Structures are given as C-alpha cells and as structure tokens.
Amino acid sequence: MHSHARLLIRYHLLSVLFVSSAVLILFSGRADSEETTKTDTETSSPLVDSPLTPEESLSSFELHPDLQLELVASEPEVIDPVAIRFDELGNMWVVEMIDYPLGPKSADEVPMSRIRKLRDEDQDGYYETSTVFADKLLFVTGVLPWKEGLIATLSGEVVYLKDTDQDGKADVKETWFVGFAEENTQLRANHPTFGLDNKVYISNGLRGGEVRNVNPAWADQAKSVPLSLRGKDFRFDPETGEYETVAGNGQFGLTIDSNGSRYICSNRNPCMQVLLEDHYLARNPQLIVPTTVNDVSPAGGESRVYAITRAWTTSNLHAGQFTAACGVHRYEGTRLPAEFYGNSFTCEPTGNLVHRDVFTPSGATFSSHYGREQTEFLASRDEWFRPVNVQTGPDGALYICDMYRAVIEHPHWVPDELKNRPDERYGDDLGRIYRVVPKKKTDSDLTRTIDRTNQSALLSAIVSPNSWQRSTAARLIFEEQPAGLEHELRRSLKEAVSPEGRVQVLHTLAGLNQLAKEDLLTAFQDKHPRVREHAALLSETFLAKVPELQQAMLDTASEGDSRTLFQYALSSGAGEDSTFRQQLLTQVVSNGVLDQWTRAAIISSATNLEGEMLGGLLQKITNSEQAPSAMQQNFFAELALIVGANKDPHEVSQVLKLLIDLFQQSRSSSKLVVMESLKSFLTGYQTRGERKAISTLSEYLSEESQTELDQMWVQLVELVGSEQGETALSQAALPLLIYTPSAETVPVLTSLLDTTNNQALQQQTLEILGAHPGTEPVEFLLDEYELASPRIRRAILAYLLRDQERIQTLFDEIEGKKIRAAELDQNQQKALMNHANAEIKSRAQELLKSNISADRTKVIERYQASLAKDADAKRGKVVFAKVCSSCHKVGDIGVDVAPDISDSRVRKPIQYLTDILDPNRAVDNNYFSYTVLTTEGQIHTGIITSETSTSIILKQPEAKEVSLLREDIELIKADGVSLMPTGLEQNITVDQMADLISFLKNWRYLDGQIPIEANQPLN
C-alpha cells in the first residue's frame, strides 16, 4: 500500500467526528448499548506504512511465556476469517465475511461472503489446501458440520449446505429457518453450536426477529408460526426441526462447556453465563427475575484490557476497557498446560488482543480473575491484527481467527462524510488463522479425525479429555443413531476416567432414546458432583413416575456442591409430590449458597409451598442468636412477595399472623427482617395480579389478629415520626407507611418532608405520600415547587398524578402557567390523555395537545443559532440537571437509563444538537420505547431490560423499574421511537441549548484539574 494512502487513513482516523463503537461487524455492533454504538469507537492509528506479511506479523505478538503462536493459514488460502469449525475428517471450515462492512450496495451486486474448506494434506501443521465450498453468500456468520454437510447462519436464515456430487462445492442448499433480524448488517444470528443435549444453539445477534421453520422435510413445517426472538437466543433439533427460544441474548459469540453451560458475549460483556432457562421459570407464574445471565468476567466499566498498540478510542471513559468483545470461548482442550483448562478467551479486535479469564466457582455460577495482571494472554503490536473468534481444535490446541483489517468500525453510525471513507475495506484480501501451542512438547498425540463408521473410535473419543473429541463423537453418534452402541456406552458410564466423559455418555444415551432408570441411578451414585448434577437434570422426564429417582436425589443432596444443589432445586419442580419437593428444597436451603440464582431455582420449584417454607424459615431465624445474612433476607422477601401475590387464603392468614407476631416479639436485627418480609408480602398482595385494598386483609384475620395489625400500623407511624428516617429501623418502616391509616400518616410524612434536607429521603417520602388519597399537602408542595431541584420537582409531579383530585389541581397549575405542560414526561402525558376518567382525559387532551413541530429539520435550523453563541458550561450543567438527568448520566449527575452521551472528545456540537432535537433519527433497537397495557388498564412505557416467559422488566426515567407479570399484561407494543421524547425545545431556549452543549463538551474539565475557558468556542 502506498504511503499517501496510509496518510489518508491517518487523516480520516484523526478527523472522525462521530464514530461508532469500535464495532467489528456483528462481533461488536454495540447494540447492547447505544452508548457505544453512537459514541465509542476504537480504531488504530497506524504504526506502519503497510500491512505486515504473516511472517512479519508473527514477530509482533506478545504471548503467555509458556506458549507459542503458529500460523496455520493465511491469504490467499483464507481471507477475512470470522469463524472456523473442524469436522471429523480433519477439515477446517472457514467463514469468510468479505461482505464486511456493508455488503452489496444494490440488488444487482453479488454478495461476497463464502465458506472455504481448508486441509493440511502433508500434516505439517499448515493448512495449505484451500477450496471454496460455497460462495456468493450474504453475511455468513457461522457454520456447524452436520451429516457430511454444514449448517450455516447467513442473512437472516439457517441453511443446510452439502456437496453430493463430490466436486468440492455445495450443490444442495436447504433453507431450514427464516426470520432472523437483518436490519443491521453487523448484528445477525451466529455461532450454530451442537449442545450437550443434542440440540443446535444459535446466538441471535441482539436484534432478535420472528423465526419460523420453512423446511418441507419436517412434518410440522405447515404449522410453523413465527417465534419472537426478542431478548432471546434460539435452539432447534436438527433431526425433527422442533425449535424454541432459550434464555440469553448473545451478540457475536457462543460457547458450550462440558457441563452444558452456555456462555455468550456482547461488546461490553466479555463472558456471560446463561443460568436460568425459561421452561423452569414458567412453572411459577409469580416469579420475576431481573436477569437470566451472569457476567462471569468483569463487564463494562469494570472490565480492563491492556493493549500494546496505540489503540485510539474516541471514548476516553472506555479507554482500556472492553468495547468490542466477541468470539468468547471456554477452553477445555488438552494441548495447553493444565492451568489453561476451563479458562475463557475473548477477542477484543479494537485493542488487537485476546483476553483470558480464569474461572473460580461462586455459588451456582463462577467469578473470574485475569490470567495475568495487566498483561493480556495474546497481544500484538501490529495494528491490523483483528482477532474475532477462538476455537478448540481436534488436536486440543487453541485456534484464533484474525480478520486482519486496517479499520474496524460500524459505518452505520458514522457521519455522512465518513460513510464512504477510502480505508473502509483496506485488508479485504487478507486474513490469518493462528494456533496456540505450548513451547514444551507434550505427549498428546490425539488424532485429528474420527471415523464415523468405527464404533470403537467413537467410544474412545466420547470419553476423551479433549472437548472437541467428545462433542464431535457425540454429534456423529446422534447423526448415525447406531444400533447396539448403548451397551458399550453404559460400560463407559461406569468406567470412564473423566467426569466430563461420563456426563457426555449420559446425554448421548438420551440422544439415542436409550437412557434408562438404571443409568440415572448409577449416575446418582457417582463420586463426582457434576455427574450427579446431570443425573438430576436428565431425571426430570421420569421424576414424577419413578420414586427411586426422587429418593436418590434426597439421599445425595447433602453431598452436593453449590452448582449441584442449584440443579437439584431446578429439577425438583418436575416432581408432582409436594412432600418430595419440600424435603429436597429444604435441604438445598440448608446446604446450598442462597445466591440469586439458587433462590430463583428454589422458587421456580416451590409453587404452592412458598408460605410454608417462609413460615418455617422466619421462625428459625427469629429464634436464632445469629443475624440472617443478606442472601437469607432477600430469600425471605422473595418468598413473601409470592405468598402475597398468590392470595391463597390459608397462606395469607398463616403468614400475615406470623409476621404480626414476630414484629412484636423480635429483637431489632430480626425485626428488620420481619419488616422487609412484610413489605414484600404487602407489595405482592396489593400490586400484583388482581388488585385488592389492604383493608381486605381483615378477611383473613381473626378479631384478635386484626387488633394486633392495627396496633402495628400505629407503631410504624410512630417509629418514623420519632426517628425521622435516621435509623435503620425507621428506614425499614418508612415504605410500610404506604399501608398505614392516612389520617395519622400524612402529617408525619409532611413533617418529614419539611425537616429533612436529604433529597433521596424527600423523594422516597413523596412516593409514599402519593399512595395516600386527598390533597392536604398539596398547597405546601406547590409552594416548594418553584425552588425545588429537578429531582424533587419530578417527584412532586408524580405525587400530583397519583390522585384524581390532585390531577385536577395540576391542570389548574398548568392553565395558570405556574407549571409548564412540557415538564410532564412522555409517559405521564400519554397516561393522562388515555385516562379512564373521561373528564381527566378530555381536559388532558386539551391542555397537553402537542405544540411540537413534526418538521425536525426546521427545529434544528432554528436552534443552530445556539452554536454561534457565547456559552457557559457551568450554566449548562444546571440545564442538564433540569432537563436531561432523569435518563442520562454525565459525570456524577443523573442516572444511566438512556445511551451514554458523555463521551464528547470528538463529537461535534451539531451532532449533539441533532440528537437532542431529533432523537428518533438514529435509534438503537435496545433503546426503543415499549408501551405495556395491563389487564387493569394501566399504561407503562419504558425500555425492556429483561424478558422471560413469566415477566418483563421495564426501565423508565429516574432509573425506575417496573416489573410486570405476563398474566397481568394485555398488550406489549413497540412504539418504534426512542424513549427520549421529541420536543425538548419546549423546555429549553436557544441560549440554554448553547450552555447545555458546552457542558456536554466540557464537563470533564469543570473540576479545574484541566484548565479551560468556560466560554471556549463550541466547535
């Protein structure tokens, strides 16, 4: 490449105005957060005048001192490799995404992605023989060998490719599934992976889709209906075509370990373990979980990477962190030293490195630490090195795909003037694949092939210590379904040396439909907890009908580690016998770690047992001298929430009476637990499912217990009144004042508002006050409104909106120009204009009718005058706190609900202006607003942050979260717009806009550590 071209690259890299998150095709589309999709790009400022040859590039690497790097393929044998898989014949199948970054510009252009087959004919370690198996494909993202062909993910589809005439090229192409999202070229379904359960898993690429089966060979094809992948990944049976969603929402990366655990990643999340599957959660319709995945590796701002290149990032906040994590892989091979077994490896192409984390068991999941402090597993000084994927090979070595490009970024988000930058495709004729091996020779001589017709070879490979050997043998057995092999497999179940092999044998027997009760009883007697864990998992089909399996679980529960007990808790729900479930779950509570995953597992299986479990645990803890742990307290509260929501008369009566009694009897430490449990119980009773007033609790209580309840309400009010939220007990009591008699409660809360200067306490008090009817505090609050902070003004508005009489007072204030209609956010205005009360609805539609110009271009033109004004960043800080901080965070002001707008080092003021005034111009799917209508007619609007078969969680301004059960939802509708409302110009003048943009550009300098002129030019 000529030097003037390289200078042009440098010029463009340094003149980037508004670049995307270092996004490397789907590997880093940064859709998990628009914060980087729109403002966080890392790309390299070249150190050399041209790309290095493969041999030159090898000398630029720094690797773990015990290991060495070998080149196994490079251009012209391979170009732009983004994924590899090995088949049983030793072929390396390579996905070449030559379409990157944008693909064909018109329908007339031919797609350029392809799949190659590479072979090492002379067995010297270099794959010198390369043939194109399939070409003219659009955005291929992954392959999986299957029945002497390939399952591939590409352009919204799952297809099957096969060469039947032995000419080396695919002549069969069957489309199996369609409907995976395609609107973003970088974020598409990927990584078809054969699982321990003999199913194929696919990472959805973050964009979801409506997927259906279109393969005529599968019997149910005619009945196929679209399946929404919103927030989910995908699984199907390659034999029958049965398909379903599974938990997780991976970007580009998917790996399944020997225990069947799935790990996914996204730009800022280098390794996430999927823990809670929907079919478990669905058993308890009252169960809401905040997430189904755990960040095993530090994520986001907690992550650290140590590049040895000058990896230039527009996000100074994200420098030295993961911004393009992709290709996560858990290594379980045998070639590398033992210390690397079970480690995770994640690519960071923008930092020119591969990161390693070492796992440590932590309850039901893992935590991790870096393989070497402040030093990466593999890093390069060659800034064209773009690792995007990692795999374990047949030989047990670690293989790395290097796309080898000059620039890795997401053109969709860059400004118009850079969309056709000349360096965009530099390197599209290059590519490398490397192998990591130990410096010291090992005795490992694993064959790189497995003969599918040789049962002895299959039996040997399926218990191999190398994960590739086991998985490939299992796949071949599942494909061939050989008769009579189950007898030898049962021998391996008893004799195989490694627990990983014995676990694989169990699932292979299941795939052959040969798993018997005796096999499971053998597994329950196994000395290794992982084998017993899978005995429990595979017992679920038989558990209700086979008492011996129930007894085996009960007998071995005390021997299990935390992961085994987690699975026992999940699997116990398959048993119909409530006595068995209660006995087993009690053992899990006593012996396990009550982390959030195990608590969810227990509750998923404890349907109709929650009250009895809660009562026994509370009695035990309040009689103990030892204070309950935080995990125990959370567990009590979660059980109490479901007891209240279930509204079973016997449970409500029993638990409520117990809570009242324990409140009177307990010491301070136990009283806190009781109050937290009571709060959760009442929350579930009143606000989930069918709404019931607290007054209806009397239906469940005797006259004596009702008197005790009334006394407790009085004590709670007195406690808050005397201690003013300054003690732990009064802080715990405060939320319970939602339920106490209004006549006694309202004066105490009003007094607390008047005396405290703690804004968080003021806000909480206003929320509680809003639950009480009447207008007694209204005059006081309106007097305070004008001088209140933005946070408290929003809390006052929320208080006014909680009562129909107060809403009319709010309307009076709007009519009198004392409160501007624009101060009500989009959600609030929508709720008022659709109010069930006809008078409120009519008045709202008149007062709140939109004065917002639909022509955003004209509004932007009008406000462009702000860019030429003298601006003051300090004044802009006040404007930001007033109009932006309920959703955005800059420095220490605001909350993280919406995308990060604080990374301003290279963003131009005109871009801020455009985004503020036209928020729907470029919206990431993950920040689309959703409107949810409940069965009771309530309307909620927000961003969906978690979704399971039983619930969704919406995130709203002020970082508020609304948890909704599916059974309470009438409708979920994508609004197709940003959560940020259009029409911010109603709240901000041209001068204020100038100050606001100055603050966004200069906020990091206002502490005086880096001197600037406060009114420095905006551009």
Rounded Cα–Cα distance for residues 836 and 819 (Å): 23
Q: What is the DSSP track for 957-1013?
A: GGGEEEEEEGGGEEEEEEEEEESSPS-GGGG--HHHHHHHHHHHHHGGGTTSSS---
Average pLDDT rounded to a whole number, residues 150-164: 97
Best CA proximity match to 187, nearest among 250, 115, 98, 111: 250
Say if residue 557 is exposed, middle or buried (CB neighbours under 10 Å; 0-12, 13-18, 19+).
buried
pLDDT digits (tens, 9 = 90+) for 664-719: 887 777 888 999 999 999 999 886 544 457 788 888 889 999 999 999 999 999 99
pLDDT digits (tens, 9 = 90+) for 787-805: 888 889 989 999 999 999 9
Is residue 419 scored above 80 in pLDDT? no
pLDDT digits (tens, 9 = 90+) for 548-594: 999 999 999 998 899 999 999 999 999 889 999 999 999 999 998 99
CA distance between the termini of the chain: 34
What pLDDT does 694 receive? 78
Token code pair at residue 874:
């300090």
Is residue 16 scored above 60 in pLDDT? no
pLDDT digits (tens, 9 = 90+) for 345-381: 999 999 999 999 999 999 999 999 999 999 999 999 9
Q: What is the DSSP track for 679-714?
A: HHHHHHHHHSSS---GGGGGGGS-HHHHHHHHHHHH
What pLDDT does 637 receive? 94
Is residue 836 scored above 90 in pLDDT? no
Is residue 1014 scored above 50 in pLDDT? no
Average pLDDT rounded to a whole number, residues 205-222: 86
**In terms of pLDDT, which residue wins out, 263 or 696?**
263
What pLDDT does 390 receive? 98
**Phi/psi at 517 (5° precision):** -55, -40
* 28-42, 71-85, 851-865: least confidently modelled range: 28-42
**In terms of pLDDT, which residue wins out, 907 or 250?**
250
Question: Could you tell me which residues come within 8 angstroms of residue 299 by beta carbon, excluding any fewer than 6 positions away?
Answer: 268, 269, 270, 272, 322
In this prediction, what percent of the chain has a pLDDT beyond 90?
A: 63
Is residue 35 scored above 60 in pLDDT? no
Residue 906 confidence class, pLDDT cut points 50, 70, 90: low
Residue 634 confidence class, pLDDT cut points 50, 70, 90: very high
What pLDDT does 574 receive? 95
Residue 926 confidence class, pLDDT cut points 50, 70, 90: low
What pLDDT does 909 receive? 87
**In terms of pLDDT, which residue wins out, 304 or 40?**
304
